[in-house]
Structure 1
């Protein structure tokens, strides 16, 4: 099917050519009373302009029909040449080939992130994911991908994120998360419902413009709901009070590399932090713990009892975090 799509633009002139041959054959049969083979032969040599003689002398009606057939063929030939020029000189065929190749690559992705909407919030999300080498697919309906972006977007699909087939094309079944940044809360809600239906395990982060939308989005299946305007205002106010602290937290949350990373570990045992002694054994720092009800304990004490299924937020290098995984 994708190979057919690659040559979709050429199907129309080919259908027109076949229609012209059929019309010419029927015309010669009706006007000149040719046999089918003679009528087909006459039509082909007329369209091909090879210069053979007529099968039989033409009547006046047959001559007029032949003239019309030649003129129509000239128009079709010109259209066909123009289309071929567009394909091979305007790189339309190359663009379609690259798009199909990219779509095939998307279907092979595992644990990637889908970004719905490529406005300000979508671009910021893509920038952070790119900097941390996390594969992502951008879905945008209203505009083509910009050419002057400060980062590379390997996977881009122009389509409506509210449609099942578009999310499936973006690999929702294999995605680990989807970030929804559409400007209208109703559209975000619809994408949340659709994504949750297609992949119940996917983590959903949605944008919201109105306070009243937060509860609806969470009921629909959003893991987290973000209000950019509210967060932006709080961030600016915090910069007044604790500028260095805010800057450090921003670096910790976005500038991950092999030497420094903030990670989330799922605990598999009952043990106190004192017994675990993560800092001494791995040099990882425990920032906080999230329990099964979603409550956070920041900077937990050494007497804190860790239970299976809880999430431990730790800070360290890749090697240190890998060692911590084995312990918890």
Structure 2
């Protein structure tokens, strides 16, 4: 029920009360307090003795007032009861539907913590149409998720049963951004024990925690303070580049995309030269190459041979790029370059 309907019921109740108070005051000549008291005990059918003996006109008014007033009170109460019942049933239905949607998720992201950082992450993922489940222990924050129909579970994110409910076995990524570094370590350990292949990104507030998270299995460890300082320095040293990168990240009208391509044995791109991809009409351009155990090579040479185990960082735009990347990264990556 919308707010204006509740307001309407409240105004009806106020009007009925005013009519009774005014009626007894005029007919019987009582004070406002006595008239209000008589109105309340009449409407609530409590059965207390009237304040003063009623005149004949007062008795007639009371009969009419009981028939009309109590009827309206019954309507108000039944409407409010129906509202509460519908609200509870709606919550139960929505909760069940949400749990069903979580059970069907695959390759989704689990975000542990819906604080300031977690909220921004969820906003971006939803904006990019990525499936996400949030784990949050604070019921007030969980209510915000419920109001926005964002899939969530309430509880401690490091508990195995909660991670399993969130689909840890089929999830692609897990982001640990709760307020405590120690809790983020526990979350990482729990997630890795349940799904060794899941990609984990964790937040730290203290750099001394970084080695622990690395040992726990986190693939990417980010300190908001360190990142912010680098970001500010980048804005000072290279403002034009920084503005350009922000536009690409924030503007949905720009179709520039990036992708990570893992080369396994038998992959279509194995033993190909970088120039064979960049010079083709597939709309995919290789801007980075990472070999196992090595740092990323930015702007790899055109005659560089792509080997088993390499990871390619590709850039492109439009539907052609998206469809080509799906062929390169699918279960049977046998995409053609033309």
Alignment-derived partner of residue 180 in structure 2: 184
The answer on 1:278 being equivalent to 2:278 is yes
| Aligned match of 1:302 | 302
Partner of 2:28: none
1:101-151 C-alpha deviation (Å, 9 max, x unpaired): 2111101101100100011111111111111111101111113347779x9
d(CA) in 2 for partners of 1:90, 1:187 = 38
Instruction: Label 1:175 to 1:210 Cα distance change in 2 as closer, same or farther (>3 A).
Output: same
Whole-angstrom CA distance in 2 between matches of 1:144 and 1:86: 25
Aligned to 1:123: 119
Return the alpha-carbon distance in structure 2 between the equivalents of residues 103 and 250 of structure 1: 35
Q: Deviations over 1:224-280 (max 9, x none)?
A: 111111001110110011122123233445656893311111223123213x23243
In structure 2, distance between residues paired with 1:92 and 1:294: 56
1:327 positional shift: 4.6
Kindly indicate whether residue 145 of structure 2 is the aligned counterpart of residue 144 of structure 1: no
Matched ranges for 1:166-205 at <5 A: 166-205=162-201
Match runs of 1:229-244 below 5 Å: 229-244=225-240
One of 110, 120, 126 as aligned partner of 1:114: 110
Q: TM-score, normalised by structure 2?
A: 0.66
Return the TM-score normalized by structure 1: 0.68
Q: Which residue of 1 aligns with 2:217?
A: 221
Look up the match of 2:161: 165
Within 2, Cα distance between the matches of 1:227 and 1:321?
31
Is the 1:128–1:254 Cα contact (8 Å) retained in structure 2? no
- Can you give the 5+ residue segments of structure 2 that lack an aligned partner in the other structure? 1-76, 329-334
Q: Structure 1: where are the runs of 5+ without partners?
A: 1-80
Instruction: Kindly indicate whether residue 85 of structure 2 is the aligned counterpart of residue 98 of structure 1.
Output: no
User: For 2:149 and 2:279, how far apart are their aligned partners in 1?
Assistant: 38
State how far apart, in whole Å, the 2-side matches of 1:119 and 1:273 are.
43
Cα distance, 1:292 vs structure 2: 1.2
Q: Is the 8 A contact 2:274 2:286 kept in 1?
A: no
C-alpha spacing 1:253/1:223, structure 2 compared with 1 (3 Å): farther
- Please tell me whether residue 156 in structure 1 is matched to residue 147 in structure 2: no
CA drift at 1:92? 2.4
* 1-structure distance, mates of 2:127, 2:274: 33
SS at match of 2:140: coil
Kindly indicate whether the alpha-carbon contact (under 8 Å) linking 2:188 and 2:216 is maintained by their aligned counterparts in 1. yes
- Residues 153-205 of structure 1: CA deviation (Å, up to 9, x unaligned): 53122221011111111111110000110111110000000001111111000
Give the CA RMSD over aligned residues. Answer: 2.8
